[in-house]
Amino acid sequence: MFQNPEIEPADLPGTDNVQWQALDPAFKRLRQLQNSIGILAIVVPLVIVTVVANLPLLAVAILFGCWVAFAALLLTWPGISLPKRGYVLRDKDILFRKGVVWRSVTAIPFNRIQHVETSSTPFDRKFDLATLQLFTAGGSGGDLKIDGLGATIAEQLRVFILEKAGASIEIS
């Protein structure tokens, strides 16, 4: 006979006691470099506009004061946000957490994974980093992208996850 017993909330597995794996420390430097490039890309036109528009000194001081505060936030944000990211490999799934203000934990069961790939941008390769992307059955809503992994770890994770998912692996 079919049975469907209740499970008490206290008996549910949690993510509080898992050992979260941090992203590669070079990822923080990469994000700070990317943010610095963005800051420079905006500050140069900002200087040109203030010179051409011949703004009053008080307006220029307020404008640049706001810009300096925003730039400081951009440069410190990777140090705040990246420690909140991490992943955990478990027997039947992988967990990924992220978020400072809006936090989320995503669990992807290995039996739902259809494809796994690693990729890296030129900046990623300069810092020996890669992105691991998991594609699941059921569309893009269940996909997972973990950037900021060391290139070697990303490849090891790709092979491990494919083995767990029961896929055939071709190693080039």
Confidence grade of residue 117 (pLDDT, cut at 50, 70, 90): very high
Is residue 155 in a domain?
yes
Is residue 21 in a domain?
no
- Burial track 2-30 (b if 16+ CB lie within 10 A, e otherwise): eeeeeeeeeeeeeeeebeeeebbeebbeb
Q: In this predicted structure, what is the pLDDT of residue 172?
A: 46
Is residue 15 in a domain?
no
Is residue 42 in a domain?
yes
d(CA 85, CA 79): 11
Number of domain units in the chain = 2
Whether 55 and 113 map to the same domain: the answer is no
Nearest to 117 by CA among 172, 90, 83, 157: 157
Is residue 20 in a domain?
no
**Average pLDDT for the chain:** 89
Whether 38 and 67 map to the same domain: the answer is yes
Is residue 105 in a domain?
yes
Q: In this predicted structure, what is the pLDDT of residue 139?
A: 67
Q: In this predicted structure, what is the pLDDT of residue 140?
A: 62
Whether 67 and 90 map to the same domain: the answer is no
Is residue 53 in a domain?
yes
Question: CATH code at 139?
Answer: 2.30.29
Query: Model-level pTM?
Result: 0.81
Sheet holding 129-136, edge to edge: 113-119, 129-136, 144-150
Q: In this predicted structure, what is the pLDDT of residue 43?
A: 86
CA dihedral 152→128→103→159, nearest 10 degrees, is: -20
Is residue 117 in a domain?
yes
Considering only 3-7, 27-31, 50-54, which range has the smallest mean pLDDT?
50-54
Whether 74 and 92 map to the same domain: the answer is no
Residue numbers of the domain that contains 130: 86-165
pLDDT surpasses 90 at 56: no
Q: In this predicted structure, what is the pLDDT of residue 151?
A: 96
Whether 125 and 142 map to the same domain: the answer is yes
Q: Of 81, 99, 124, at which residue does a domain stop?
A: 81
